[in-house]
Structure 1
Amino acid sequence: MAADPQRGPKREMSLERIVDAAVQIADADGLGAVSMAAVAARLGYTTMSLYRYVSAKEDLIQLMQEEATGLPPESVREADGWRAGLVTAYRASVQVYLEHPWILDIPITGSPVTPNSAAFMDVMLDALADTPLTEDERLAAVLQVTGQARWYGTILAAYSRQARERGMSPEEISAYEDQLFASLITAEEYPALRRAVDAGVFRSEADPFRFGLDRTLDGIAAYIAERESGAAPVPSATWLEPAPAGVADDKRYREARKAVREAEKALRAARRLERQALTEARQRAARARRDA
């Protein structure tokens, strides 16, 4: 860290000022607008002077994420019970994404290793400390909640960006999407989705993300109840196995995967024709009954 600001009209540069300036740029114009040159210009210094404090842009972005994330609110630890604690942390995480949506553009490279990110995981794990869940199960529950918060933040940030760019309210965007789906989704090709559109799901005020979170927590609560009654932990199986080293680059493997995708595409087309033929057959049968 730099020393205390020196006397004079221009304050001495510091790591904190660099990070604050970078966060302000990202908040206003997105992560893509952040560069060492842009930050230096905002502070009134040369680009090279920043490298005395930050060795690379990647390091700056990590510091920006840490600053924007902040510490989890004390209300998480003060919540009454594990469920309320996880919901409070979920809301706090979503709020971070709303205030700093550019965080969602930072690639995930592994588990959080910065103090504030780790603090969020710590308070959520602590909320589950008095449950009979194993440490693996507690982490799995936390990952479920944080994953849903990130997905919710992604959607909300996208809608907020659309609202700014189009000058539309959230209600107007929902109405536009409803009209778009109603014009593009046919009962012949997408019967289930068409029923949902006709039912007004895109105009509904219900929060599907809160519904998903509540059902996830219901499932965890039911599992905790089973464990409290004496049931043993349920071992988790791995569903997806990564391809062995070198397989993904194998020519025959790539050709086989391409053939599978083409077969799946042909199957979807055949099912679409089947649905169209069924619809036409029903229409002919209905006309025959009317003419009889």
Structure 2
Amino acid sequence: MAEIPDDLRRLWRLNTGSRLGRRAELDTDRIVAVAVGLADRDGAAGATLPKIATALGVTPMSLYRHIGSKDELIALMADAAFGPVPESLILEELWRPALRGWALAQADVFRRHAWLAQLPISGPPRGPHAVAWMDAGLRALRATDLDWAAKIGVITVVGGYVRQAFVTGRQLAESWSAEGVNEAESLRNYVGELREVLDANRFQDIAALLDSGLLESIPEGPDSADADFRFGLELILDGVAVTAGP
């Protein structure tokens, strides 16, 4: 049997040493909970070891016994932030509503913990929550005739869409905030500026789009962004249906 690395032991909360004697005042769960709270407030960069140590009333060096390294802490934080899979996803039997629910539930996670989308992707899921989410995605496709490679491909595409859609929406919102405008104002400015420089003979379809008035009539607010997200998600699910069947 292969030896389990210490970082994997900590991710899965397996014993990493003797538990004899009085329970330690500091443990992995407490450190991770504080780190996630700091990241929720200040972004991933705000969850520094000195800040975590100060919040816990300990020295930064004392944290390493429970988290191994800063990179390991990030992995622990990410797994904790994703949390358990909603029970409703496990109970859904039809693949399309199950996969749609899986995607929407992940979007909710990103909205609660925006810093997750800032983290680099370093490999396949390793922590218990991340593995549970992967398992739920595969379970959603259980009733299809897709092989394992296709199932992995589907959940990779769907999960990637959820993440990128969140990143794009957040970056746009931050840009509008910096400019002191909302989405509708930004689009009106965009249309007005582009009309001044656009050669309609060269960019005929862009010119037709601007003339349609669509960009100047898009409703403002979260409902618009949610509609865009769901439209893209249904396009992907339509593509899955071509291979997986209805």
TM-score by length of 2: 0.78
Pair 203,97 (structure 1): closer, same or farther in 2 beyond 3 Å: farther
1:29 equivalent to 2:39? Answer: no
The match for 2:230 is 210
Q: Is the 8 A contact 1:21 1:42 kept in 2?
A: yes
The match for 1:83 is 96
The match for 2:215 is 201
1:110 equivalent to 2:143? Answer: no
The match for 1:221 is 241
After superposition, residues 28-177 of structure 1 pair within 5 angstroms as: 28-159=41-172, 161=174, 173-177=182-186
CA distance in 1, matches of 2:99, 2:234: 11
- Opposite residue 208 of structure 1, the aligned amino acid is D
Cα deviation, residue 103, structure 1: 0.7
CA distance in 1, matches of 2:216, 2:147: 40
- Opposite residue 215 of structure 1, the aligned amino acid is L
The match for 1:185 is 194
After superposition, residues 11-22 of structure 1 pair within 5 angstroms as: 12-22=25-35
- Opposite residue 175 of structure 1, the aligned amino acid is A
Question: Unaligned 5+ residue runs, structure 2?
Answer: 1-12
Question: Unaligned 5+ residue runs, structure 1?
Answer: 229-292
Q: In the TM superposition, what whole-angstrom CA distance separates every residue of 1:47-97 from its partner, at most 9, and x where no partner exists? A: 112122122111111100011011111111222400000010101100111
Q: Is the 8 A contact 1:98 1:157 kept in 2?
A: no
Q: Percent identity?
A: 29
Pair 202,40 (structure 1): closer, same or farther in 2 beyond 3 Å: farther
Q: Is the 8 A contact 1:185 1:194 kept in 2?
A: no
Cα deviation, residue 210, structure 1: 1.5
CA distance in 1, matches of 2:183, 2:102: 28
Q: Is the 8 A contact 1:174 1:203 kept in 2?
A: no
Cα deviation, residue 155, structure 1: 2.7
CA distance in 2, matches of 1:130, 1:166: 47
Pair 203,79 (structure 1): closer, same or farther in 2 beyond 3 Å: farther
SS at match of 1:51: helix
Q: CA RMSD in A?
A: 2.8
Rg: which structure is higher? 1
CA distance in 2, matches of 1:135, 1:202: 45
Pair 31,139 (structure 1): closer, same or farther in 2 beyond 3 Å: same
Deviation beyond 4 Å, 4+ runs, structure 1 = 159-163, 165-168
CA distance in 2, matches of 1:202, 1:20: 44
**Aligned pairs, how many?**
218
After superposition, residues 192-271 of structure 1 pair within 5 angstroms as: 192-198=205-211, 199-201=213-215, 203-205=217-219, 207-225=227-245
Q: Is the 8 A contact 2:188 2:215 kept in 1?
A: no
Q: In the TM superposition, what whole-angstrom CA distance separates every residue of 1:123-157 from its partner, at most 9, and x where no partner exists? A: 11111111111111111111121111111221333
- Opposite residue 107 of structure 2, the aligned amino acid is V
